Amino acid sequence: MLLYDPTASVFTFDGTRMDLAEEFRDNPRGPFSADLQRILDRMRTTPLKGRYVLLVIEPFRVWQLARLSGERGEAPIPVDSVRYTSAAIAEWDIFKRRWKDLTGVTVTVADPVL
Amino acid sequence: MICGDMDPNGPGQSYEPAEWHEPVELEVRHQRIDAGSYAIVDPAPKWPENSAFNLTINFFPTRPGNSEQTLVAWGDLRLQIKDGLLRLCVGEICAICEDIILPRCWYQATVSIDAASKVMGLTAAMLNPTGGVRTEQSAQERLSNWCVPRPQTALLFAAEPETVENGRLFTRNTFNGKLEAPVLSDGPDGELIAAWDFSSGIPTDRITDRGPRELHGTLVNLPMRGATGSNWNGSVASWRQHPGQYGAIHFHDDDMVDCCWNTSLEIQPPENARSGYYIARLTANGVQSDVAFFVSAKAGEPRARLLFLAPTATYLSYANTHIKFDSHNTENLFEAVTQLSEDELYLNLHRELGLSHYDTHSDDSGVVYSSSRRPMLNTRPGLYTFNYLNDTHIIKWLESRNTSYDVATDEDLHRHGTELLQAYDVVMTGSHPEYYSTEMWDALNDYQNEGGRHIYLGGNGFYWRIAYSDTYPGVIENRRGVSGVRTWEGEPGEHHLAFSGEPGGLWRTHGRAPQALVGNGFSSTLFVKSTWFRRSEASFDPRYAFMFRGINTNVIGDFGFRGGGCVGLEIDRWDKDLGSPPNSVVLATSEQVGQGGLLTGEEFITTTRALDGVQNGRVRADMVYFTTAGGGAVWSTGSIAWATSLLWNGGDNNVAKVTGNVLDRFLDPQPLD
């Protein structure tokens, strides 16, 4: 049987490519350059255990950052008290967190003006 | 319910109280759900007179971890796997085999009990030995005391009794995996007591005893039948072809087909109630919870000339999906960070509410049954908009233009077939009528060919073959097979439906691509950003002028509530080689689908990187029209997001205009070119 392999997502990228972070900030729904698309594909296939998700606190208004437990029937684990009042800001913040997690490099480009 | 979409930037929720129902106050109590499938033989076999017996059973464990899983429970006897080891327990005394039981390997367990000499023995033999593993292991223990099963004690396979509450049995320690061919005899070479043959009655909930006492049993919570047995050798692919190779039943600890709750409230719509989408709105201590239901038009008793077919098989297939928690590719598919609503968070914690066809069981095997006899938390007003809520955009649009319509469900279509459809001049299918039984397909096809007019307002329709069952009303079966966009892959030899014996999987793989029914068929997913249609040159033929009356632009639907366009989510294309009728015409084709459009697996054969809308011309939607031999007509939009663009700008838009033009013309009895 064909099962999920959490180690199958193997793409690595240069964490200093701030031009690509900037590209995502400015155009978060694409279309993306090939280099950025690969980074997003990598980010979106991180292992289920620990994957960032958003808990809807108030529909369409407030979201809480959390990580999936990776275990069936176990609740996602909230990340501190990180809350967002915009899904777009949440998407950008999670992009930055994943960039740091995957490359060790902090995204230094300015946040979007929304 | 007119529209249940809660989005403040959406078309607006809309409900009308049913005047035939007064609010009532109820006292309710918590009612448990007993998830996990098992077989029960009740009354159980009688205790052998010489107090000795042998039991053999084949088993294929799929999740033999640390938890306690019971293969056989009979009185104080338990045949179990615990801590990965096979063991036989009588009361507190256990004989435990030494070697770890391997997942997904066939074993035969042999149990022998001799109460006279007070010895119990257990053997486990691998039926298909694998490298590096001892093929046989055994254990023995002395019985200090043997408790004869009470006559009223049932024999259970794949679980053991926990309690009985108000006459209802609750179970625990469900076994995950397949069981096959249990045989009970009076001593090692003694007289046969019972021999259950699971290859008999595969479409039913009955298990048959071939022994002299006919100790037949019943299955609870719908474990998967038509499962390959220990002797399956790949020479056949279907249980109907060779039932003897399908003598196994696959049990799961999260199978759940019916909550079996006592009724708290019964709602009886009066004879003259309008057919349609309804919810029962429950409130308690500030909590609100909606229960969706349908009032169907009676077959043969139309009250309108238009029938909207609520795709309830699709709703059921997706009911209570857990893919956001369990399926690795979900975020990549939707290309945005996953948001989890309160209902979804609840479903994750409460697996006893049952799974969807998109889920896998706790042992990673695919879910093939979905039941409506349980709460369905994503089939009601809420944040999960796919299918059910998207379809209410169509309902609201019909209401907004004062079009008279009846509503019937997929199960009505399955049961009543053309008798239901032929009473209507026009039949409309929804945004995503993805799951079709043979009976449903045949009825719609006959309706079209006998002069009926069909408006298909969606995408990825008529895609998976399903089956209903008379044994299990309200339940559908789906086998995923090895093709199509799917969240799990079917196991070899297990692609045939147990309910009907038909091959499961994509209709396309059985000679009925959706193109043959509606002119277009699934090509791609497009979840990132929707796009629009551009009219084809062919669409300017005077024969099709009625569709575009009042339209001043060649671009249609560059707006909408899902991704900003009418071409999005899942899209279909025309293809004469897959069965689009010779006289079918592509009226419009999508533009600029872009890299967000991704080709479905069955649309390419060799590996390639050219799978997106930038590089691959098959990643597109085609709007198709054709007339049928019998004077019928079919108009197919080929995109889920078409339905969610109808109400844009208060319904004043060219998607609504085209749809209205087609609907009005289809309702006009004048023949169509």
Closest CB to B489 among A1, A6, A74? A1
Identify the CA nearest to B462 among candidates B506, B411, B500: B506
Closest CB to A73 among B327, B351, B528? B351
pLDDT, residue B118, reads 87
Q: B175 and B87: one domain?
A: yes
Q: B236 and B291: one domain?
A: no
Q: Are B484 and B507 within 8 A, CB to CB?
A: no
Helices A18-26 and A87-103: angle between axes, nearest 10 degrees: 160
pLDDT, residue B65, reads 85
Q: How far is A16 from chain B (nearest CA, A)?
A: 23
Q: B232 and B88: one domain?
A: yes
pLDDT in tens, B482-531: 899 999 999 999 999 999 999 999 999 999 999 999 999 999 999 989 99
Q: State which residue of chain B sits closest to A42, comparing Cα positions.
A: B332
Q: Has residue B25 been placed in a domain?
A: no
Closest CB to A1 among B336, B339, B364? B364
Q: B239 and B102: one domain?
A: yes
Q: Are B425 and B453 within 8 A, CB to CB?
A: yes
pLDDT in tens, B406-428: 999 999 999 999 999 999 999 99
The percent of residues above 70 in pLDDT, for chain B, comes to 98
Q: Has residue B88 been placed in a domain?
A: yes
pLDDT in tens, B206-246: 999 999 999 999 999 999 999 999 999 999 999 999 999 99
Q: State which residue of chain B sits closest to A75, comparing Cα positions.
A: B349
pLDDT in tens, A49-78: 999 999 999 999 999 999 999 999 999 999
The ipTM (two decimal places) reads 0.98
Q: B469 and B511: one domain?
A: yes
Q: What is the 3-state secondary structure (H, E, C) of B47-110?
A: CCCCCEEEEEEEEEECCCCCCCEEEEEECCEEEEEECCEEEEEECCEEEECCCCCCCCCCEEEE
- A3 touches B: beta carbon within 8 Å: yes
> Positive or negative CA dihedral for B429, B435, B441, B445?
positive
End-to-end alpha carbon distance in chain A = 46
* CATH number for the domain that contains residue B105: 2.60.120.200
pLDDT in tens, B137-182: 999 999 876 666 655 679 999 999 999 988 899 999 999 999 999 9
Q: What value does the mean pLDDT of chain B take?
A: 95
pLDDT score of A114 more than 80: no
CB contact under 8 Å between A37 and B595, yes or no, is yes
Look up residue B482 and give its two tokens. Answer: 């090895």
Mean pLDDT of B327-346: 96
Q: State which residue of chain A sits closest to B7, comparing Cα positions.
A: A60
Q: B439 and B398: one domain?
A: yes
pLDDT, residue B50, reads 61
Q: How far is CA B83 from the centre of its chain?
A: 33
Indicate which of B7, B252, B337 best probes the interface with A, i.e. most A CBs within 10 Å of its own CB: B337
**Beta-bridge partner residues of B171:** B161
pLDDT, residue B167, reads 87
Q: B209 and B280: one domain?
A: no
- A1 pLDDT band, cuts 50/70/90, is confident
- B76 pLDDT band, cuts 50/70/90, is confident
CB contact under 8 Å between B339 and A63, yes or no, is yes
Alpha-carbon span B650 to B404, nearest angstrom = 20
Domain segments of chain A as ranges: 18-103
- A44 touches B: beta carbon within 8 Å: yes
pLDDT score of B370 more than 80: yes
pLDDT, residue B619, reads 98
- B66 pLDDT band, cuts 50/70/90, is confident
Residues in Cβ contact with B127 at an 8 Å cutoff, skipping those fewer than 6 apart: B58, B106, B107, B108, B230
Alpha-carbon span B613 to B237, nearest angstrom = 36
- A31 touches B: beta carbon within 8 Å: yes
Alpha-carbon span B603 to B611, nearest angstrom = 9
CB contact under 8 Å between B332 and A41, yes or no, is yes
- Domain boundary, last residue among B236, B251, B266: B251
> Positive or negative CA dihedral for B544, B547, B552, B555?
negative
pLDDT score of B326 more than 60: yes
Q: Are B295 and B412 within 8 A, CB to CB?
A: no
Alpha-carbon span B428 to B646, nearest angstrom = 14
Q: B285 and B428: one domain?
A: yes
- A92 pLDDT band, cuts 50/70/90, is very high
pLDDT, residue B132, reads 86
Q: What value does the mean pLDDT of chain A take?
A: 96
Domain assignment of residue B524, given as a range: 276-297+304-667
pLDDT, residue B190, reads 82
Q: Are A57 and A90 within 8 A, CB to CB?
A: no
Q: Which residues of chain A are within 8 Å of residue B7 when distances are taken between CB atoms?
A: 60
Q: B218 and B289: one domain?
A: no
Please identify which residue in the block is written with the tokens 């147990």.
Answer: B498
Identify the CA nearest to B253 among candidates B364, B170, B173, B326: B173
pLDDT in tens, A97-112: 999 999 999 999 999 9
Q: Which residues of chain B are within 8 Å of residue A1 when distances are taken between CB atoms?
A: 104, 364-365, 489, 491
Q: What are the phi and psi torsion angles at B238 (to 5°)? A: -135, 140
Count of structural domains within chain B: 2
pLDDT, residue A68, reads 98
pLDDT, residue B45, reads 83
Which comes out higher in pLDDT, residue B50 or B307?
B307
Q: Are B657 and B664 within 8 A, CB to CB?
A: no
Mean pLDDT of B580-590: 98
Q: B513 and B586: one domain?
A: yes
Query: For residue B22, with 0-12 CB atoms within 10 Å meaning exposed, 13-18 middle and 19 or more buried, which class applies?
Result: exposed
pLDDT score of B187 more than 80: no
Q: Which residues of chain A are within 8 Å of residue B332 when distances are taken between CB atoms?
A: 41, 44-45
pLDDT, residue B150, reads 58
Q: Which residues of chain A are within 8 Å of residue B365 when distances are taken between CB atoms?
A: 1
Q: State which residue of chain B sits closest to A41, comparing Cα positions.
A: B332
Q: Are B625 and B635 within 8 A, CB to CB?
A: yes
> Positive or negative CA dihedral for B256, B156, B55, B86?
positive
Q: How far is B595 from chain A (nearest CA, A)?
A: 7
Alpha-carbon span B427 to B624, nearest angstrom = 16
Q: Are B45 and B213 within 8 A, CB to CB?
A: yes
Q: Has residue B12 been placed in a domain?
A: no
Largest CA distance in chain B: 94
Q: State which residue of chain B sits closest to A65, comparing Cα positions.
A: B339
- A42 pLDDT band, cuts 50/70/90, is very high
pLDDT, residue B335, reads 92
- A86 touches B: beta carbon within 8 Å: no
Q: Are B470 and B439 within 8 A, CB to CB?
A: no
- A1 touches B: beta carbon within 8 Å: yes
Mean pLDDT of B630-659: 97
Q: Which residues of chain B are within 8 Å of residue A54 when distances are taken between CB atoms?
A: 337-340
Identify the CA nearest to B240 among candidates B572, B620, B498: B498
pLDDT score of B571 more than 90: yes
- A36 touches B: beta carbon within 8 Å: no
Q: Are B437 and B504 within 8 A, CB to CB?
A: no
Q: How far is B602 from chain A (nearest CA, A)?
A: 17
Q: What are the phi and psi torsion angles at B521 (to 5°)? A: -150, 165
The percent of residues above 90 in pLDDT, for chain B, comes to 91
Q: Has residue B264 been placed in a domain?
A: no
Q: B485 and B555: one domain?
A: yes
Q: How far is B493 from chain A (nearest CA, A)?
A: 12
